[in-house]
Amino acid sequence: MKGRVSSLPFFMRHRPAVPRAVTVAGSDSGGGAGIQADLKTFSAFGVYGMSAVTAVTAQNSTGVHGIFAVPPAFVRRQLEAVLSDMGADGIKTGMLCDADTVHAVAGCIRKHVKVRLVVDPVMASTEGRPLLSKKGIAVLVAELLPLADLVTPNIAEAEILSGMRIGAESDVRLAAERIFGLGCAAVLIKGGHLKGDATDLLFDGKEMTTLTAARIATRHTHGTGCTYSAAILSSMILGRTLAESAGIGKRFVTAAIRHAIPLGRGRGTLDRSVCIGSV
C-alpha cells in the first residue's frame, strides 16, 4: 500500500471548516426564545449551533410558568465540554439566572479570548418576571461585560445598566456611553419599547449609528431579542464587521417579525426561516 487511505467519505474529507457558535441561555419549552431561538437563528445563517443550558423553563405563548435552574458547575461543565472538543468562533449569552452562574460562565469564557462574545443581558421576562438577581447583575457588569464584543440591552435593561431613565433619543445616547464605559467593546441599545419607529443605537466608543425599521403592528414578537443578538453574532463570525452585522441582524429580525407565527393564545413567535439573501 502507498500510504493510508482515509476511512472518511470523500465529501467529509474535503468539507470546509464550519462556523460554530454556542448559546449559553435558558431553554424555552415553547420554542420561541432562549436556546431554541438562538439555535434556529444560527441555522438560518449556516452556523453550527451548540448550547449550554442555564435553566429549563415551563413556558408558552402566554408567559413563563416555571423555572428550574441548572447548577452553575454543570453549566460550566457543558460549556467546557463543547469548547474543549468542538471549539467555537462565537458565544452568545442570554438568561444566566444568578450570580454564581454568571461567574462560572465568565470564568470559562475568559480562557477563550479569541472567541467572539455577544452578551444579551436578559434580566426579566416581558411579563416582568425577574430572570437575573440583583447580585447576578452586579457580577455580569463586573465580570462578563468587560469580555464582550457587543452588549445588546433593551430599554429596560439599558436603564438598569446605565443607572438612568430613558425616554428620548438623547437619553439613549447617554445611556450607550455609560454602558460602554463599563468595559464592553460596543453596545447596541434596542429601541423597540420606545414610541415611533423601531430605532436602535449602536455605539463602538467612537461612532454612534442608528438602525431604524418601521414598526410592525403585531403582538407576535416572542424571542425578538434572542434572535437579534444571535443574528448579529452569526454575521460577525462569518467575517462581517460589527456595523455590517448589526445592520444584517436588524433586517433579519424585522423580516422574522413580519412573518411571525401566531401559535398559541398569547404572543406568537418569530419565523426564523426567512431567506438570508433577502435581508
Tens-place pLDDT, residues 104-124: 999 999 988 789 999 999 998
Q: Which residues contact 226 (CB under 8 A, 6 or more apart)?
A: 25, 33, 34, 37, 38, 41, 94, 120
C-alpha 57/C-alpha 78 separation (Å) is 18
What pLDDT digit, counting tens, does each position of 161-174 carry?
999 999 888 999 99
**What pLDDT sits at residue 163?**
95
Active site residue 225: yes
Using 50, 70 and 90 to split pLDDT, how confident is the model at 236?
very high
What 3 state SS string does 190-228 have? Answer: ECCCCCCCEEEEEECCCCEEEEEECCCCCCCCECHHHHH
Q: How far is CA 171 from the centre of its chain?
A: 24
What stretch of H or E contains 168? Answer: none
Is 120:152 a contact under the CB 8 Å cutoff? Answer: yes
Cβ proximity of 180 and 203 under 8 Å: yes
Residue 207, CA distances (Å) to 47, 114, 150, 177, 248 in order: 29, 24, 14, 11, 18
Predicted local distance difference test score (pLDDT) of residue 278: 56
pLDDT of residue 10: 47
The verdict on whether 190 is a catalytic residue reads yes
pLDDT of residue 12: 45
pLDDT at 39 over 80: yes
Please identify which of the residues 136, 190, 199, 227 carries the catalytic annotation. 190
Rounded to 5, what percent of the chain is helix, strand, coil? 40, 25, 40
Q: Is 62 a catalytic residue?
A: no
**What percent of the chain is predicted at pLDDT more than 70?**
91
pLDDT band at 35 (very low <50, low <70, confident <90, very high): very high
Residue closest to 50 by CA, chosen among 39, 58, 61? 39
In the set 41, 54, 152, 221, the catalytic residue is 221
Which of these, 186, 243, 253, lies nearest to 45 by C-alpha position? 253
Place of cell 470523500: 10
- pLDDT for 279: 62
List the catalytic residue out of 192, 223, 249, 268.
Answer: 223
Three-class DSSP category at 133: coil
Amino acid at 24: V
Distance from CA of residue 206 to its chain's centroid? 23
Rg (CA), the chain: 19
Task: Find the length of the chain.
Answer: 279
- 197 has pLDDT over 90: no
CA distances from 6 to 2, 16, 85, 106 (A): 12, 17, 21, 39
Confidence band, pLDDT 50/70/90 cuts, at residue 7? low
Q: Which of 93, 136, 226, 269 is catalytic?
A: 226
pLDDT at 114: 83
Q: What is the mean pLDDT of residues 10-34?
A: 82
**What average pLDDT does the structure give for the chain?**
90
Which of these is catalytic: 57, 199, 224, 254? 224
Q: Are 274 and 261 in contact (CB under 8 A)?
A: no
| Least confident piece of the model among 88-102, 139-153, 209-223 | 209-223
Check: CB of residue 94 under 8 Å from CB of residue 118: no
In 3D, which of 84, 144, 86, 88 has the Cα closest to residue 116? 88
The answer to whether 184 is a known catalytic residue is no
Of all residues in the chain, what percent carry a pLDDT higher than 90? 73
- Which residues face 28 on adjacent strands? 57
Instruction: Identify the pLDDT of residue 217.
Output: 87
Q: What are 148-194's pLDDT values in tens digits?
A: 999 999 999 999 999 999 988 899 999 999 999 999 999 999 986 67
Q: Is 275 marked active-site?
A: no
Q: Is 49 left (phi over 0), alpha (psi -120 to 50) or beta?
A: beta
